[in-house]
Every structure is written in C-alpha cells, then in structure tokens.
C-alpha cells in the first residue's frame, strides 16, 4: 500500500520565523517527492521537489529534507511570510513511471504578522 501522511492538520507560525511541515510515507518504492501549496479556489501550485537519491534540496526560502531510513520528509520555510499562509501538500511519485502523484492530507499553515 502506497501512502503519504501528513499528521499535523494545521500549523501557526509568527512572521519571520521558521515553518517546518512534516510528511511520512509508508512505502520505499517512491521515486520523487514534491511539495505543493494550495490557496482556496485554486489548484495546487508546485513548490519544490526532491529525488529519492538526494537528502536535501533548496530553492530560495524553501528547503526540503528527505530521511529515507525514517521514511520522512520535511519542508522548511525561512523566513515565513504572511503570504505563505495556505494548505501545503506533500506528494510522492511511485516508480510506476506514469508520473501519478500520491498526496498527503495537507497541512494548513498560518503565518501571523
């Protein structure tokens, strides 16, 4: 069974501080992991991805860390801004090579000014 889990439904952070969003997966047969951000009434927007052969990828304020032994990944946002307030989805691509995404439940991030 290929599952992706985000166990924290919400997170509240002060502007300027670090936001850490977590994600766990239950199957080792994932090829890539991605983070998407979603605002109400919009589709998910790609943020950052990481290959299963890497342990870190950084893009500006966003860094994704992958711990394969723990089957865990996290998204760090530094510094957090009020505009980052949205629902964040962790997603994984299995090795099936069709590119389908398996999503977590999402974590709602609120960044307070």
Partner 1 sequence: EPEVTQTPSHQVTQMGQEVILRCVPISNHLYFYWYRQILGQKVEFLVSFYNNEISEKSEIFDDQFSVERPDGSNFTLKIRSTKLEDSAMYFCASGGGSGRGETQYFGPGTRLLVL
Residues near partner 1 (CB under 8 A): 31-32, 34, 36, 41-46, 49, 51, 89, 93, 96-106
- The answer to whether 73 and 64 are in contact (CB under 8 A) is yes
Least distance between partner 1 and beta carbon 69 (Å)? 21
Least distance between partner 1 and beta carbon 88 (Å)? 12
Pick between residue 56 and residue 100 the one whose CB is nearest to partner 1. Answer: 100
Pick between residue 51 and residue 81 the one whose CB is nearest to partner 1. Answer: 51
Cα-to-chain-centroid distance, residue 13: 16
Question: Backbone dihedral region of 33: left (phi > 0), alpha (psi from -120 to 50 degrees) or beta?
Answer: beta
Candidates 47, 102, 50; CA nearest to 77 is: 47
Pick between residue 41 and residue 70 the one whose CB is nearest to partner 1. Answer: 41
DSSP state of 82: G
- The answer to whether 4 and 94 are in contact (CB under 8 A) is no
Pick between residue 69 and residue 97 the one whose CB is nearest to partner 1. Answer: 97
Least distance between partner 1 and beta carbon 104 (Å)? 7
Least distance between partner 1 and beta carbon 21 (Å)? 16
């Amino acid at each position: 069974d290929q599952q992706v889990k985000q166990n924290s439904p919400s997170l509240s952070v002060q502007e300027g501080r670090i936001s850490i969003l977590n994600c766990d997966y239950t199957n080792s047969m994932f090829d890539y992991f991605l983070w998407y951000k979603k605002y109400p009434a919009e589709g998910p927007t790609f943020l950052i991805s990481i290959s299963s052969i890497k342990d870190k990828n950084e893009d500006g304020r966003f860094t994704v860390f992958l711990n394969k032994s723990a089957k865990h990944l996290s998204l760090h946002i530094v510094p957090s801004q009020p505009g980052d307030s949205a629902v964040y989805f962790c997603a994984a691509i299995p090795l099936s090579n069709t590119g389908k995404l398996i999503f977590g439940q999402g974590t709602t991030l609120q960044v307070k000014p």
